[in-house]
């Protein structure tokens, strides 16, 4: 398991290439990689968004992310997990979060990546403060439910 | 005995402080910690609390040396 908070912009696809290149132990063992990439939009709740600040609780955020990944590892057969989440100042089109799970079979990879994503959104202490095109600054009050439209 | 209290995000803005230190004579509950520090502010309906970086209910006990945090619903990912 690798969990990182990044104050810098990162390329999720390059991270995957780099991670797999060093994960020699699981080479040949995985048949499925479940990947979710979350990207910042330039709109939210009907408004144009210029940028966003992502606050977190140092220590607790890492602890809760680790717990979510451990729960997934307890529920599905996973070979490894990579989770990277941005913090700090973020612009539209920046990657916000990368969740990748490697497994022998696709069922575990699909389900575990979804589980990690949905649970981090409800449990990991991050808070979004948006700056709108109008200049208004507002906190996002709650995340949408990932299981309904 | 003392405890450290942190506030985050919109709650920090509303309270106007990022944290407090509280001296206590005996263990308190989380809600009592809130009431001591913010006597003029109702507890927000959506308030979340953590003690030593674990989520707790508002009736959880707080003891000497604990870190308490109050914050609104989380919005990561």
Kind plus residue range of the DSSP H or E element containing A49: strand A47-56
* Residue B76 located in a structural domain: no
- Nearest-angstrom CA–CA distance, A27 and A21: 9
What was the pLDDT predicted at B70?
Answer: 98
Structure tokens at A77: 């057969």
Instruction: Tell me whether residues A127 and B72 touch, CB distance under 8 A.
Output: yes
With an 8 Å Cβ cutoff, are A60 and B73 in contact? no
Domain count along chain A? 1
Nearest to A122 among B10, B72, B74 (CB): B74
- In sequence order, the 6+-apart residues with CB closer than 8 A to the CB of A86 are A5, A6, A7, A9, A10, A54, A94, A95, A96, A97
CB contact under 8 A, B76 and A140: no
Contact A125 B8 (CB under 8 A): yes
Specify which residues A103 forms β-bridges with.
A32
Residue A113: inside a domain:
yes
Q: Is residue A74 included in any domain, yes or no?
A: yes
Residue B47 lies in a domain: yes
Testing the interface with B: which of A4, A39, A68, A125 to mutate, by most B Cβ within 10 A? A125
Please check whether residue B19 lies inside any domain of the structure: yes
* SS3 assignment, position A130: strand
Taking CB atoms and an 8 Å limit, are A143 and B77 in contact across chains?
A: yes
**What is the 8-class DSSP label of residue A24?**
G
pLDDT band at B52 (very low <50, low <70, confident <90, very high): very high
Query: Which parts of chain A have pLDDT scores under 70?
Result: 149
Beta strand A126-132 pairing with B2-7: unpaired
Task: Identify the pLDDT of residue A144.
Answer: 81
Can you give the CATH number for the domain in which A113 is found?
3.90.1170.40
**A90 to chain B, minimum CA–CA distance in Å?**
12
Assign residue B53 the CATH number of its domain.
3.10.20.30
Q: Which of B10, B46, B77 sits opposite A117 (nearest CB)?
A: B77
Tell me if the pTM is above 0.90. Answer: yes
Any domain includes A147: no
DSSP-derived secondary structure letter, A25: G
Q: DSSP letter for A46, please.
A: T
Residue A94 lies in a domain: yes
Question: Which pLDDT belongs to residue A56?
Answer: 98
State residue A149's pLDDT score.
60
Q: How large is the average pLDDT for residues B32-56?
A: 97
3-state SS, residue B39: coil
* B39 assigned to some structural domain: yes
Counted residue by residue, chain B has a size of 77
Q: Is residue A75 part of a domain?
A: yes
Could you give the CA distance from residue B10 to residue B14 in angstroms, rounded to a whole number?
A: 6
Q: Would you say residue B77 lies in a domain?
A: no
DSSP state of A7: S
Indicate whether B31 belongs to any domain: yes
Query: Please, which residues bridge with residue B6 across strands?
Result: B19, B69
Query: How close does chain A come to B22, measured CA to CA in Å?
Result: 20
Q: Classify residue B54: in a domain, yes or no.
A: yes
| Structure tokens given for A12 | 């999720």
Whole-number mean pLDDT of chain B?
96
What's the total number of domains in chain B? 1
* Domain span at B47: 2-71
User: What is the pLDDT, as a whole number, of residue A148?
Assistant: 73
Nearest-angstrom CA–CA distance, B49 and B69: 6
């Amino acid at each position: 398991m690798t969990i990182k908070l990044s104050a810098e912009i990162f390329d999720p696809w390059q991270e995957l290439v780099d991670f797999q290149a060093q994960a020699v132990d699981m080479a040949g063992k995985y048949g499925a990689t479940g990947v979710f990439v979350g990207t910042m939009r330039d709109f939210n709740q009907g408004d144009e968004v210029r940028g966003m600040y992502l606050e977190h609780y140092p220590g607790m955020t890492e602890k809760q992310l680790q717990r979510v990944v451990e729960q997934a590892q307890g529920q599905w057969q996973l070979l490894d997990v990579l989770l990277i989440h941005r913090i700090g100042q973020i612009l539209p089109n920046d990657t916000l979060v990368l969740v990748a799970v490697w497994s022998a079979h696709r069922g575990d990879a699909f389900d575990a990546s979804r589980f990690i994503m949905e649970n981090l959104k409800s449990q990991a202490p991050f808070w979004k403060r948006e700056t709108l095109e109008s200049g208004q600054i507002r906190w996002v009050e709650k995340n949408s439910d990932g299981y309904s439209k | 005995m003392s405890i450290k209290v942190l506030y985050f995000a919109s709650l920090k803005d509303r309270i106007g402080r990022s944290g407090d230190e509280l001296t206590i004579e005996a263990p308190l509950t989380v809600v009592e910690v809130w009431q001591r520090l913010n006597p003029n502010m109702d507890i927000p309906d959506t308030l979340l609390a953590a003690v030593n970086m674990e989520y707790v209910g508002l009736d959880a006990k707080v003891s000497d040396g604990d870190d308490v945090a109050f914050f609104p619903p989380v919005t990561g990912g």
